Structure 1
Amino acid sequence: MGWEIVREQHRNEPGKWSRLWVYEDIYKVLTKIKGTEAIEGIVVDVTHSRDIHERGIMGLHGKSFSAMTNLRLLSISNVHLSENLEYLSSELRIFEWNGYPLKSLPLCFHTENLFELIMCNSCIEYLWEGMKSFLKLKTINLSHSCNLITTPDFTGVPNLETLDLEGCTKLREVHPSVAVLTKLTVFVLKDCRNLSSFPSDIHGLKSLKILNLCGCLKLDKLPENIGEAECLVELDISRTAIRQVSSSIVQLKRLDKLSLHGCNGQRPETWFTFFLSLLLPNKNPDSMCLLMPPLSGLITLKKLNLSDCDLLHIPNDIGSLCSLEVLNLNRNNFDTLPPSINQLMKLDVLRVQSCKKLQLLPELPPAIGALYADDCTSLERISPPEQSTSSYTFLAFDNCFKLVESYGSHLAIMMLKLWLQIHSPGARPFISPGARPFIFRGARPFISHGAHPFIMYLPGSKIPKWFIHKSNTPSIKIGLPPHWLNNKLMGIAFAEVFDISDLVYCYKYDLHFDKGSLHSLFLLPHDVRKSDHVLLWFFLREQLDEASFEISDSTYVHAKIRIKNGNPKVKSFGIHLLYKEDLEYFDRHHLEEPPQV
């Protein structure tokens, strides 16, 4: 309605409208220089139309905006100029030009009201020279402006809150004046791969919450006083040449997320460094790995990523991270973890994938929910917790052949028993399977509330011997005796042997009873496996009790595994109703033979 009112005033003269938003009208006004002081806003996004995106608005004159003295909003994309701009309104509040074609802002650009400056994917090489005053400017976004060489003097931009320079691949240095931006909260330099200079003093960044330097391949140091950025919540220095972080990092009392992924002290290789490494090989592996900063002061840290850092050992003070929930140690060179790791009382996810030298896992924290130990090819032993408090819900031991050699299929029983001891009836609330399906995302079960099912993945080519009902197809139907749903039933266990040639990763599990069905979903990552693997899945008794239909008088259960387009390649499939007597029997007898690997 508002648009029509604007158009009615001067139906055939869009240059006299207050707002322009239709491509054809904007094209006419800009190319024929028909703009007037009446225009306050121009918004066009040609990226949503393929034909317009390809041709854009070509041949714009330098005077196209000359008469638009009251223009406050300019949001355009893929607009090309045949000459330099001669004028932009000093009333502009928002200036957004995706693909801005010039090397810099026009010399005539003197607006004191500018609030946002967004020029993603632009051809700009520098914003302005010297010091300019933009007292109201809060956002500068030049992301993916691949020709940007340097940043301007920020002294005249005291209220800047967001500075996004992601993907500015020619950027080599950041002007030291950035350190005086006391209101800056977000500073992104991700993938500025030629950045080699960063301000050595950031004492003024008192409001900074997010600093992202990920992918700055040539950056080899952080400011010594990084700890003075007292409001910092996220620090990402992944894939940089940094191999030592200042000890002042312990002053960051609000730090929530720290990523040092890929910080192994190696600069990007050139032909010169390649030949030099051949002539003078480094024989000391410890000289190249990340030198760990102290961790004891990071009391608010929840996520820590130390993957791909060539670490030979993990410092013992990692146990002081009392708020840590997610720890990623993938692809490092240590052979064990420090005993203090069991002090991480809030740790939920531990990743040690592809730690090829890891031989022993010590006692892990009681609250841990997911352990990813895929491709730990030297892993032989796991220290079970002294107390029955482990809440493992997902255990991935892909290609951990030595572990299976050490424990046989008793490993599955051991871990399942630990889980059942704290997830037994009455121990905690459970989710109702009738409410919604279980969802397994990225090798971790995801449900909205309650307990997760127990899931374990390890090498093996046979269904465990204690599974009574087995099949060579992805379907099993068994009869249920009277009173099968009694107080001794702990749940239903499933086992499946996957064919390693099967690349399907989304499996649906169906349980059909007389009067209804339960469903679940499992997403299996496309990891490279060297032989067949067994998946164990366990549903608790309470999850059956809370079904939305009458289940206790069922006479059969028909279990099926499905994929989106047909039947999965399953070598064998098993189902077992697990009662308390089974666990007691496991304690008294060595029931199982080790699976054939």
Structure 2
Amino acid sequence: FPNLFFDSQHLAKLRFLDLSGSQFLEKIPDLSEIPNIEHLDLCRCTSLVEIDDSIGLLDKLVELNLDGCVNLTRFATRLRLNSLEKLYLSDCKRLESFPEIEVKMESLWWLDISGSGIRELPSSIAYLTGLPELPLLPELYSFTLRGCNLSKSDFALPLVYWYTLTELDLSGNNFVNLPRGFSKFVNLRELRLTDCESLLEIPEQVLPPKVSPVRLDNCTSLQKIPEVSWVLLDNCTSLEKIGSMYLSLTNCVRLRGYYDITENIFLNPRFDYDINLPGDEVPKWFSYCKDATIVRTKRYQYDARCEVSFEIPPNLKWETLRLVLCVVAVAEVSIFNISFTISLNGQRVNEIRLDRIEEGHVRLTCIPLLNRNYVNLSQPLKPGNLCKVEFLLSLYGRVPAIDKIPCGVHLLGHQVADVSVTEDFYQRLLP
């Protein structure tokens, strides 16, 4: 490349440079000696692997064409291209990342990254204020746009084109409502809206059908959300109404005493539910309640244990049996580890471990009674079998201000007319 120029004193005057189709060109070195370049054509340079970072500082550059550079892996690390109007990166199959944009690039009105290896765009993409829409990326899976102080109009139009997105992170932005275009993200599975302190509402039928989870930690103005299968809503201090079934609501203080969550929402056998919300008692609809006694085990460690035993009623369908388990971390007590062990007639049939519960919160977990990884029965179960649930809770740090932790168990299941048919289910579980 340096040998292309015979008189370096004229490089500063260079405006147009066409190296398209240079099949043996592997690297573009420092371009600071051509600061006034306006048009740089490197398309179909199939051996080109790397371009020096100085290309991102050419503030007179109007058009940059890298179409068909199939082996290009490095394309600057930052862009300060105030004059750039057109950027072509199509079919750069090995180019996986887009540079950080350090200034508003209001002049850029054409960006083509179709067929490239780019799967995630930086949050600084918001600086491309001149684009009428962000490009359609048939293979874009993840998009992050944090902390950009976006309003609804800033991102609603571009996002409706990304039908294959599976992860979308819009944390820390200041929009008030989500646009209805979100419903077009038919493959979106995870949506992060943490720290969106101005978000008031997520309208009904806006969230895509497959999204799970939705993360809404610290959305302190949020007042209403639609029903979704898993929502994380830590520190949503203004939230007053919820319709979701799989929730973590740490520090949502307006939900203290919110017990409209009833046993009916746990009946869907397709999900394992885990709900964390402010509160100080086991819900009234629980069938079995017992206190776990706190015992000091080490200098800075305390455990709490209890057991709840009951008989399985004869009129329930075995394969639909589910347990709702409850632990209450009362004031001044934080629980760091939780373990539930479920046994039938002395034989372990399921086990689950959960992470911490902050003080002043209730944890509700719903799981199947039987886990096929544990079930190894020597004979089919019959109605009237004894179920035992063991609670083991671990506490660390300061001496607890109380000596007991409220726990609860509630059995769910569908009724059957003929109890004998349930035995066939257990026959199938035998080795």
TM-score for both structures, normalised by structure 1: 0.50
Q: Which residue pairs with 1:462 in the alignment?
A: 281
1:257-406 to structure 2, matched below 5 A, reads: 257-264=142-149, 291-294=154-157, 297-330=161-194, 331-341=196-206, 344-361=208-225, 363-364=226-227, 368-382=228-242, 384=243, 392=245, 394-405=246-257
The answer on whether the counterparts of 2:178 and 2:202 sit within 8 Å (CA) in structure 1 is: yes
**Pairwise CA distance, 1:378:** 1.6
Verify the 8 A CA contact 1:499 1:571 in the aligned structure 2: no
Opposite residue 219 of structure 2, the aligned amino acid is: C
Q: Does 1:496 align with 2:327?
A: yes
Q: Tell me the alpha carbon deviations over residues 228-274 of structure 1, each in whole angstroms, 9 at most, x when there is no partner.
A: x444543xxxxxxxxxxxxxxxxxxxxx4443332215xxxxxxxxx
The alpha carbon displacement at 1:534 in A equals 0.8
- Indicate which of 403, 411, 429 corresponds to 1:578: 411
Mapped to 2, the partners of 1:156 and 1:315 lie a distance apart of 34
Judging by fraction of residues, say which structure has more strand: 2
For 1:339 and 1:523, how far apart are their aligned partners in 2?
A: 31
2:392 partner SS: strand
Residue 559 (str. 1) matches residue 379 (str. 2) = no
Higher relative contact order (CA 8 A, sep 6+): 2
Indicate which of 269, 291, 296 corresponds to 1:471.
291
Q: CA 1:136/1:161 → structure 2, altered by over 3 Å: closer, same or farther?
A: closer
Per the TM alignment, residue 346 of structure 1 is displaced from its structure 2 partner at its CA by 2.8
The alignment yields a C-alpha RMSD, in angstroms, of 4.6
Structure 2 residue runs without a partner (length 5+): 1-21, 294-303, 416-431
Give per-residue Cα distances to partners, 1:440-474, cap 9 Å, x unaligned.
xxxxxxxxxxx442211111122234342312333
Secondary structure (helix, strand or coil) at the match of 2:87 reads helix
AA partner of residue 97 (structure 2):
V
Does the C-alpha gap of structure 1 residues 493 and 535 become closer, same or farther in structure 2, counting only changes over 3 Å? same
CA gap 1:209/1:511 in 2 versus in 1, 3 angstroms = same
1:252-309 deviation per Cα after TM superposition (whole angstroms, max 9, x unaligned): xxxx4443332215xxxxxxxxxxxxxxxxxxxxxx7763433655544444333322
CA distance in 1 between partners of 2:71 and 2:132 (Å): 21
Structure 1 portions without partners, runs of 5+: 1-110, 119-123, 235-255, 266-287, 385-389, 424-450, 583-597
If you compute each CA radius of gyration, which structure gives the higher value, 1 or 2?
Answer: 1
Q: Percent identity?
A: 16
Q: Matched residue of 2:209: which SS?
A: coil
Q: Distance in 1 between matches of 2:338 and 2:233?
A: 22
- Look up the equivalent residue of 1:314 and give its one-letter code: L
- Matches of 1:318 and 1:537 in 2, distance apart? 30
Query: In the alignment, is residue 487 of structure 1 matched against residue 316 of structure 2?
Result: yes
Does residue 80 of structure 2 align to residue 220 of structure 1? no
Q: What's 1:79 paired with?
A: none
The match for 1:179 is 87
In structure 1, C-alpha distance between the alignment counterparts of 2:395 and 2:252, rounded to whole Å: 29
2:360 and 2:115 mapped to 1: Cα distance? 53
- SS of 1:318 mapped into structure 2: helix
User: C-alpha deviations, 1:120-155, integer Å up to 9, x for none?
Assistant: xxxx9659968798933354387xx8x986379976
Deviations 1:508-556 (A, max 9, x none): 333355233532232348xxx5x51110112224548972345847656
1:524-563 residue pairs with structure 2 within 5 A?
524=356, 531-543=359-371, 547-549=375-377, 552=381, 555=386, 557-561=388-392
Separation of aligned partners in 2, 1:198 and 1:211: 24
Question: How do 1:143-182 and structure 2 match up within 5 A?
Answer: 150=57, 158-164=68-74, 168=77, 172-173=80-81, 179-182=87-90
Match for residue 418 of structure 1 among 265, 279, 286: 265
Describe the SS at the equivalent of 1:340.
Answer: coil
What count of residue pairs does the alignment treat as equivalent? 365
Q: For the residues of structure 1 that align with 2:373 and 2:70, how far apart are their CA atoms? A: 57
- 2:156 aligns to what SS in structure 1? coil
Report how far residue 506 of structure 1 moved.
Answer: 4.7
The 3 A distance-change label for structure 1 pair 515 and 540 is closer
Number of the residue aligned with 1:52: none
Name the TM-score, length of structure 2 as normaliser.
0.65
